Structure 1
């Protein structure tokens, strides 16, 4: 029978790993293989008292390694498995000589490994920092970071920040431990055997539990985002609609047959309710789109309002921007222009009140400023 066990979380403390292996052997479990520095696979055997020692896995020729292995066997030590950058040896003779008795020779044997571990930790932190920056940069470059954040990426960002912080702390802790081992060996002090095994294993288990919990929450979050979205024909949309209907803006245009008329709705933790309506006719015919969002905090509504206004201004720099001073809104603006041939009116109204934001854009012969009462009523009703 084989079973996998979590390892101590301080892979640079070889004495602690040796103590852990000895306790496993005393319980009747012998090592078979290891998954990096996270866990090991063990095979059931008779409980026995064994000594374990870890040696750096040095780059050497086959002949040199075979000669060293033969010398270790003559001393009573047997090879068990590779554990990351270490080779694991065990011995059943409690009186057998240690693999290393000279601290200076031991320091020389460990010098290359310690340099490699330090280099790996530094590279890991550098790559982690670059990866984290790229995650945020790719989202920010979309041009609508507030909307992207509110519509679901906040969960991804939190996961990225958690993973970055956790990995950074682990790497800094490893660097400090590796340097302490190096200073000890340079001072001619032999490496200690043993340590606070219970605390190390407890940290490992809590760390693994936190990782799996974070992954589970991320999966649930992704599923909830997908499950909270729905799409339907505009005719099937709810009766209470947070926008000014095309029939109210231009009855003649509303009588035309539209080639597209869709309604989409979404719900998530930061935006409990948001919907989007779009209808248009081919060949540069009439077009209308409306977005409504009810956020959990007024600060989110204000940020979303400002982003949508600024995005419109950036996309159409020649349009006329009118900031409305109306006490019924916490912020409101109208952006007016003409289509490419200078004919049809193109206009957008955007406003927010408390936690709600409404944004409606049209391409038709109508003026959204004539319906400020309707927009104020929408924001008051859908808080």
Structure 2
């Protein structure tokens, strides 16, 4: 049988009654507190005993002599110092049920807790200011971009959805903090002895959920980028051995053959919101080329905004000469022309493909083939 063990502490900050109740029960079960960390407390086995436990706010800037005098006074009253909780509370126990309470002056007790309340409130405000600043920075970057949708899907990583979860958690924690503040205010107004509220079992479950969520978030933030190592790739089009969401120039232009190709390359660089991002350059003699950019999106609702953004971009490329075609194989087809150049944007499900044909003709005549190719990436 182990003589020592570590246990997760109840989630408590301003309301100390749950922690006191938990420690009293641990003593009754034969476990004496040795040390309190950030989330865990260490106990050693001892004889079961009934004690009273109190968490006292640590005085600010207290000299060693004053602290020694206070400890001697508390010892004379029957109270024994155990340890402190993350430099926030001093923890005392009393084995004598008839000994007086540590706190007898309600004004002094209220003053000590009011000081802690101001500190916690300041920390909460600073946390929210930092969170709002980060959100505004991200929004500003996206809004100021000429292509905000593409900027969003190309720059957002796993941290974005986790940040949204953190925002929800922050709102929840803020509401819980305000409830604790109201309870503490009522305690301070009621004077001594202080009442206890809540269940230490419930607070330990809450602490476990917070710890589990924190660990999971850390794993995702660190593990997801590591899992993406090696997912980017590039290949010469002549050596390509995997499907890509586009057609080649020689497949759409009857005047070209595969042998006419002078060079060609495909790069695939995924992001969190675009598991497949393909850039394909296909070159032919006489400065003829076919440039493709395809995005296979994680979330299908992002496809239409991206398609509309590309639609406006080819409107600029084609100097306003853009039409929308109705084709049953696509959710959207936009075609633009400028001299011998053709610009095509296709939207099918969660795939958006831009095709820039410079000196290459016939891309708009192969919509059925494009539909079949894009269907493979749904």
Specify the TM-score bucket, using the shorter chain as the normaliser.
0.7 to 0.9
Task: Give the number of equivalent residue pairs.
Answer: 366
Shift of 1:173: 0.8
On the 8 A contact 1:58/1:113 being kept in 2, the answer is: no
On the 8 A contact 2:266/2:278 being kept in 1, the answer is: yes
On the 8 A contact 2:323/2:336 being kept in 1, the answer is: no
Instruction: Give TM-score, length-normalised by structure 1.
Output: 0.79
Q: Does 1:373 align with 2:375?
A: no
Residue 256 (structure 2) aligned to one of 251, 260, 273: 251
On the 8 A contact 1:294/1:382 being kept in 2, the answer is: no
Following the alignment from structure 2 to structure 1, what is the Cα–Cα distance between the partners of residues 6 and 314?
Answer: 57
Change (3 A) 1:252 1:381: closer
Q: Does 1:95 align with 2:89?
A: no
**Residue in 1 that maps onto 2:41:** 40
Shift of 1:301: 2.7
**Residue in 2 that maps onto 1:291:** 293
Shift of 1:72: 1.3
1:296-352: CA deviation from partner (whole Å, max 9, x where unpaired): 776433222112233555xxx5751332242225433345569xxxxxx66532122
Following the alignment from structure 2 to structure 1, what is the Cα–Cα distance between the partners of residues 213 and 242?
Answer: 45
Following the alignment from structure 1 to structure 2, what is the Cα–Cα distance between the partners of residues 150 and 203?
Answer: 35
1:35-80: CA deviation from partner (whole Å, max 9, x where unpaired): 34x3323344444433221111121441333322221122222322
Change (3 A) 1:145 1:320: closer
Residue 79 (structure 2) aligned to one of 73, 77, 80: 77
**Residue in 2 that maps onto 1:341:** none
Q: Does 1:192 align with 2:192?
A: no
On the 8 A contact 2:290/2:356 being kept in 1, the answer is: yes
**Residue in 1 that maps onto 2:53:** 52
**Residue in 2 that maps onto 1:125:** 128
Give SS of 1:12's match: coil
Give SS of 2:320's match: strand
Change (3 A) 1:195 1:320: closer
Residue 240 (structure 2) aligned to one of 233, 237, 240: 237
Shift of 1:14: 1.0
Instruction: Give TM-score, length-normalised by structure 2.
Output: 0.80
Q: Does 1:18 align with 2:13?
A: no
Change (3 A) 1:129 1:324: same
- Name the stretch that deviates more: 81-90 or 270-279: 270-279
On the 8 A contact 2:261/2:282 being kept in 1, the answer is: no
Following the alignment from structure 1 to structure 2, what is the Cα–Cα distance between the partners of residues 299 and 120?
Answer: 38
On the 8 A contact 2:266/2:279 being kept in 1, the answer is: yes
CA RMSD for the aligned pairs? 3.6
Shift of 1:15: 1.4
Change (3 A) 1:29 1:217: same
Following the alignment from structure 1 to structure 2, what is the Cα–Cα distance between the partners of residues 133 and 357?
Answer: 28
**Residue in 1 that maps onto 2:112:** 109
Following the alignment from structure 1 to structure 2, what is the Cα–Cα distance between the partners of residues 141 and 41?
Answer: 52
1:184-209: CA deviation from partner (whole Å, max 9, x where unpaired): 21232531247412111122223322
Shift of 1:253: 11
